[in-house]
Amino acid sequence: MKKISVVGFGKIGQAIVANMLQNGIEVVAVDINPELKQVFESGAYASTEPGLADTLSSFYKQGSLTITHDFAAVADSAAVIVAIPLLVDKQKRIMDEPFLDCFKQLAPHFRDNVLIVIETSIPVGYGRNTVVPVIESQGKQHGKDFLLVHSPERIKSGTMLDQLLRTPKVIGGVSKEASAKAHEIYRWFFDEQLIHLVDSIEAAEMVKLAGMAYRDVNIALSNQLAAFAHKINVDFANLIPLINTDGEAHLLQPGIGVGGHCTPVYPYFLINNFKDAGLDFDLASRSRVINDGMAEHAVSLAAPHVHEKKALILGLSFRPNIKEDTFSTSYLLNEALQRHGYSVQLHDTEFSAEELARKGFSACSDLYAPGAEVLFLVTMHKEYAGLDFNRLAAAGVKVIVDGRNQLNSTIVENAGIRYIGIGR
C-alpha cells in the first residue's frame, strides 16, 4: 500500500489526511499532541468540519490511519507533508523556531530522496534559503537524502474536503527532480488536471501570498470607498454587485476589518520580501493599515449617537459558525472601544463564556439582557440572522453598527434602532 506521512494533525492536516485516505493511501499522522491518539482510540474524536469525523474515525478503525507523536514514524514514507503553522506574533513577525525545529527532528529519518512537501504558507525564498540549510545542517543533502517542494494549501474551514476536489494544486520544487517526484505522488490523490507545476519553489511560495495580498488590497479599496460613500450619503455596499457587472471589477464587501490565519498575516511576508529585494510594497502596507483601522472607524460611526458608552460585540469567530478566532477583528474593536471609554461585552455562538473570559473578553450570555446601548455585528453567525430587534430595542439598544452589511436596515429602524452599515 502507498504510504505518506503528514506532520501536523490540526484542522488543515486532518483534511489533507482525509483526502488521501479516501484515495486508498496509508497515512501516518505525526503531531506533538500525545492526546490525539487517545481521542481516536476512545472514539471521542469530533470535528465541526463536514465529513472529517466520519472519514478519519472510520479509517483509523480500519488501520489505514496511524496517529503518533514519534517523528521516527515518517521513515519509509514515499512523502512527508508538513502542515504545521508558521507562527507570527501580534506584530505579524515570524516566530519560526518551532517550525524549523520540526525539520531538525524529521531530518534524521530522511533518506533515498524522500519527498518533503511544505503545505504551510511561507515567505518567498524561505524553502530554499532557510528550510534546506536547516535540514542539511543535520547531515542530510538535497538531491541525495531528500527533495523539497512547496505546495501551498488553499482551503478554508467549512468546505475543506470539497475544496480539495476542485482547487488547483500548485507545486514548485527546489529542483526539477523534486517537482517531478511531487507530481508523480500527488497524482495518487489529486485529479491530474488539478495539478499545476510551476518553475521553482519560489514561484509556488508566491501563489498563496499574492492571492492573500490581492484580497487584502481589494477589501481595503472597498473600505476606503465605503468611508467616502458614507460622507456623501451613498449606499456603496449595495452598489457593489452593480459595479461588478462590467466583467472587469470584482470588488469585495467592506467591513469591520479582516480576520483569520491568512489575509491579515501573509501580506507581511511579501512586505518583508519586498524589503529584502530593495523594494517597497507600499500598496500592501497601506492596505493593512486601512483594514486594521476599520475597528476605529466603526467606533467613530457610532460615536455621534451614543451617550452611555455601553457596547456589545456580536461575534468573535473570524468566519460565520466556525470556532476560530485568529486575528479576529473583535480584538481590535474591543481595544478601540475601551480606548474611547466604553464598557464592552461580547457574545458569540461558538465560544463558551469561560472561553471568552480566557481570551480577555467580558462575556455576554444573553444578548437581550438590558445594558448595551450600541451593538456591533462583527461575525454573521446564522443565529444572528433571526435577531429580534424589538426585544433589543426594549433592552436599551439604540444603535446597531452592521459590520458585515447583512442586516435588514428597514426592519432595524422600524424597531426604533438607528442602523449604521459600512458604506451604507
Rounded to whole angstroms, the Cα distance separating 195 from 272 reads: 29
Residue 102 lies in a domain: yes
Rounded to whole angstroms, the Cα distance separating 188 from 197 reads: 15
Which of 200, 231, 266 terminates a domain? The answer is: 200
What does DSSP say about strands 87-88 and 94-95: parallel, antiparallel, or unpaired?
A: antiparallel
Q: Is 56 found in the same domain as 162? A: yes
In this prediction, residue 186 carries a pLDDT of: 97
In this prediction, residue 48 carries a pLDDT of: 86
In this prediction, residue 93 carries a pLDDT of: 86
User: CA–CA distance from 36 to each of 29, 68, 84 (Å)?
Assistant: 10, 8, 15
Closest CA to 191 of 23, 4, 64: 23
Q: Is 308 found in the same domain as 186? A: no
Cell 500592501, residue? 284
Q: Helices then strands (H, E): number in the chain?
A: 17, 15
What string of pLDDT tens digits covers the 424 residues of the chain? 699 999 999 999 999 999 999 999 999 999 999 899 999 999 999 998 999 999 999 999 999 999 999 999 999 999 999 999 898 888 888 999 999 999 999 999 999 999 999 999 999 999 999 999 999 999 999 999 999 999 999 998 889 999 999 999 999 999 999 999 999 999 999 999 999 999 999 999 999 999 999 999 999 999 999 999 999 999 999 999 999 999 999 999 999 999 998 999 999 999 999 999 999 999 999 999 999 999 999 999 999 999 999 999 999 999 999 899 999 999 999 999 999 999 999 999 999 999 999 999 999 999 999 989 999 999 999 999 999 999 999 999 999 999 999 999 999 999 999 999 999 8
Whole-model pTM? 0.93
Residue 249 lies in a domain: no
Read out DSSP for 337-360?
A: HHHTT-EEEEE-SSS-HHHHHHTT
Domain with residue 351: its CATH number is: 3.40.50.720
Rounded to whole angstroms, the Cα distance separating 250 from 217 reads: 12
Tell me the H-state helices in 97-175: 97-106, 126, 132-136, 160-164
Residue 393 lies in a domain: yes
Which of 200, 229, 258 terminates a domain? The answer is: 200
Residue 186 lies in a domain: yes
Q: Is 35 found in the same domain as 173? A: yes
Which of 200, 232, 263 terminates a domain? The answer is: 200
Contact partners, residue 99, CB within 8 Å, separation at least 6:
84, 85, 86, 87, 120
Tally of structural domains, the chain: 2
Residue 247 lies in a domain: no
In this prediction, residue 117 carries a pLDDT of: 98
Cβ atoms of 374 and 308 within 8 Å: the answer is no
Q: What is the extent of the structural domain holding 406?
A: 294-421
Residue 47 lies in a domain: yes
Contact partners, residue 148, CB within 8 Å, separation at least 6:
116, 117, 118, 127, 128, 131, 132, 135, 142, 173, 174, 178, 201
Q: What's the 3-state SS for 244-313?
A: HHHCCCCCCCCCCCCCCCCCCCHHHHHHHHHHHCCCCCHHHHHHHHHHHCHHHHHHHHHHHHCCCCEEEE
Contact partners, residue 406, CB within 8 Å, separation at least 6:
377, 380, 384, 385
Q: Is 173 found in the same domain as 64? A: yes
